[in-house]
Amino acid sequence: DQQVKQNSPSLSVQEGRISILNCDYTNSMFDYFLWYKKYPAEGPTFLISISSIKDKNEDGRFTVFLNKSAKHLSLHIVPSQPGDSAVYFCAARFNDMRFGAGTRLTVKP
């Protein structure tokens, strides 16, 4: 029972353009949603989060949007940089924390 889904395994964008990563969830009890970034051979690191009572949270180049009615959230990275190339995991929290399968972002110079 995968409660958090990332349906795009990979995304490739040009440096300077916008990257949009998507995530869907099924459990309406989730109260916080998070994005993590992971480089090879390292543990995931926290990027940005959003409470279920908000619809947008911004931190520098990163913005997360939440559409509760659609049970959908997205991460926007503007402008994208080569150093942003990594695997991005969407996560959702209730009693525990569940993750999606991840999206590999490649930003080309």
Partner 1 sequence: NAGVTQTPKFRVLKTGQSMTLLCAQDMNHEYMYWYRQDPGMGLRLIHYSVGEGTTAKGEVPDGYNVSRLKKQNFLLGLESAAPSQTSVYFCASGGGWAYTEAFFGQGTRLTVV
| Interacting residues with partner 1 (CB under 8 A) | 1, 6, 9, 32, 34, 36, 41-46, 49, 89, 91, 93, 95-102
Give whichever of 15 and 106 is closer to partner 1, judged by the CB atom.
Answer: 106
**Structure tokens that stand for 32 in this block:** 């916080």
Give the type of residue at 6.
Answer: Q
**Structure tokens that stand for 64 in this block:** 């997360």
Give whichever of 77 and 91 is closer to partner 1, judged by the CB atom.
Answer: 91
Q: How far is the CB of 102 from partner 1 (least distance, A)?
A: 5
Residue 5, number of CB atoms within 10 A of its CB? 15
Residue 44, number of CB atoms within 10 A of its CB? 18
Give whichever of 14 and 31 is closer to partner 1, judged by the CB atom.
Answer: 31
